[in-house]
Structure 1
Amino acid sequence: MKSMMRSGSMASLVQGYVELLFFLPFVLTAAVYTLGDSAVWPWSVSLGIGYWAGSAIIGAKPIKRRIYRLLLSAGLGLFLTVLTFLLVEQALSPVPVVICSLIGAVFAYRGMASTIRGWYNSFPNSQLLTAVCVYIAVQPLKLFLLKELSSYNVVLICCGIAAVILFFFIANERHIGAETADTGKSKTTLDFKRQNRLWIVLLLVVIAIITMFRQIQHAIERFIKQIIDSIMGWMNRPRENEVQSEPPSEAPPPALPQTETKPPADWVVLLEQILKIAATILVIVVVCFLLYYLGKKLYRLVQSFISKIWERSADRQGDDANYSDEVESLMSYTKLKDQLNGSLRRLSLRGKDKEPGWQDLKSNAERIRYLYKRLLSGGMKTGYTVIPSLTPRETAADMEKKKQTVIASEHVSPLIDVYEAVRYGDKSPSDETVADLKRKLDIQ
């Protein structure tokens, strides 16, 4: 139990509730139509706990068989659903128990996937954007298909705004992290990330103010009205020496006939919702354009910063000229493309221009680079095309995804770990490590 608690970190719990926020329209729809009002929110909270529990169990004891993970997820979903029903005294009807248990099992399985594959791969930006679109689509559906959700209108609007804000923030963080993966710990990159986060927070604040303009306006009007009423009440307070005189009695004015106020027509409400959706989409389009424009400017700034770092690093490593692999230069896209094309051309002409063999290599660092080039050349023989913008780890993952690698997948990850240490950390692996990798990769 202690190892499970250590494995299930607070980060997985936060990730679970973030995913719950994005999937709330689906969860809320299932809860409203199957549960009583008293069980909607307790059961929804239990989904985040199930997500955390799945992540903690996999972190403490990895389970490789998918069928076992599915069974474990189903058990967690059923257990938390029944426990929640008992706590809120909800009747254990078969249909609600089955539906809620299935949803709980999905969240538990997603928690396992986040630990196995990483949160970026288990919850990509495409799912974030789809969830935001679902929030927008739910607004008109509440009028004629999902009328039971009308009582949760405020919750859906507030959570939708929060989902849009989190979408921009998470997508921006992931993009910046991917662009600065190679120099993520340098002072220049950290300063750039700090400035980028500041600008994105300011932008999201502006979006929130625009989206909630009506609520903010009404709150300001009520606040000003309360202040004016207080001032007028203080000015019109009775004075001690003032003689109270009874006002002359006047006959009350005749009462006007009361007219029955009718609710607005359905088409008026629908038109208002459509206008809200159109305005939201317009704001999103404008914000996306601004982000694209800002991203281009920031990307150029990052290129100039990182180019200086590469120039200084090249000056310090000028004596390492016996063997060179493809150098990832961020000074310009054209230079990067030319360098990579030259490296691939040398790989494709191995039979014509003899390259140094294993016995000709003089250091373990050169041998690790040689093994990595053999990984790339093996993938190219199967039809794989190297993508210049990918890092070595992303390239290996892409080759494995497309089934275009001649090396067993369990041997690729150790090679990438050692290669990154050599390439980016100037490390020199031991003879045992090099020999073990050469044996596993079957390099002659």
Structure 2
Amino acid sequence: MLQYSTFLERLKEEAEVEIWAKSFISNPEDWRIEDIQVKAFPKVNPLPHWTSYIRRVNEYAWMNRLDAKSIKINIKYKVKKTLLIKFLLLLGYLFSLLRCHKLLEKLVFKLVLMNNRNKGINQDLKHSLPDYLLVFNPFWVEEPIVALEAKKNNIPIISIIPSWDNVTTKSRMVYKSNYYGLWSSVRINELFTYYPYTKKAKTFVFGTPQYDIFSNAHFLQKKEVFLDKYHLNDSLPILLYTLGSPLFITTEIDVCLQFCKLALQEGILEKYQILIRPHPIKDFSEYIPKFKHIDTRIKIQSDVQTSKTEKNRFMNKAMLENWVSTFYYSDIVIATSSTTLLDASMFNKPHINITENLTEDKQYDDFLKDVSYKFIHLKNLNDQKLLNNITNWEMFFNQLHQYINDKNSIQNKSKEVVIALAEQKNEGKYGAFFANQLIKIVKNNA
């Protein structure tokens, strides 16, 4: 998405840019960028498997030392407690108890840096001779491997924390950077808390460049084209129901199905056009017949999903246009504590956020409450009362019925949400702002 923001246009004015992209092989046409060389991401050999055990122990040690609630919730509900996991959790607890977590992390850094499985990447870096390495996801698999090889070549590293929840929910980073870029000052404070050594590095706020296109008219489809594509009723307000990953909140699709059934009973289908947006990288095909069986007026954006045949996740220009147009033409957005709350806020759309278990299966009650109110990145928004949370079906449908007669009946703090998460309002210049931050780094070290 960055190639369609103002980021690269500004950056290439001051620097020579080379990009290694995983999707270059499958989508070469989408990577034709003037004055920028784009290459396929090099083959990455993962770290030795045995290092995963000491990395897990390190994560569990820091989890206990920090009382990292988001990570604890993930482990409590989403990790199968095998004998091995229990043993690693115990070791982590002991390292934390003995206050040896910092020494343990130093050991992890040394062990992963000793990995010699990626000499090809090392040679690629020597051939490219970059003055800086910009890492867009330090929590993923491939990018940290490149960063480790860069450290062996004394190449300064700039690591970008790519989302609002990454610091407090993801596995610990396995290398140190010279610079860290984050969405906002709130995230910088979290970084300092979770990674104390980053206080010695330089940090900067870069906003959310992926949302530049929300202010770019070229990415907005004509309304009649968008409505015709999904056979939407132009006379009704669009109620956009967004779904997250079913691997995390496994009840989301069941709740959405139940909502559609109740919406039919409540007469909502006479008042709203319901449009369902599945998670773009999760297969939704098996559920489509279940929704169509309820009522054919319920529409599903089944085309937003990445093809199963594509090895690397990629959103081309057509998919981006669909993303922008969907949120622009929607009137209300429904989510379960997902990033689509920010998508909605970028267009000043009111939202309904489901924060508790709406199924009859009570085993999910505590999980949904813990995620909604104790995950650090969500707790920050809830503490500021920026989210329109609903906890039961009665609240849900009361809000929908009231909205038809009073468009101000649903709390809308979109502007505050944007500022809280991106630190500045969207004027289509997040990318240029990001580029300017990088240019400052280069010039200050020239």
User: Normalised by the size of structure 1, how large is the TM-score?
Assistant: 0.22
Q: Quick check: which one's helix share is greater?
A: 1
Relative contact order (C-alpha < 8 Å, sep 6+): which is higher? 2
User: Normalised by the size of structure 2, how large is the TM-score?
Assistant: 0.22
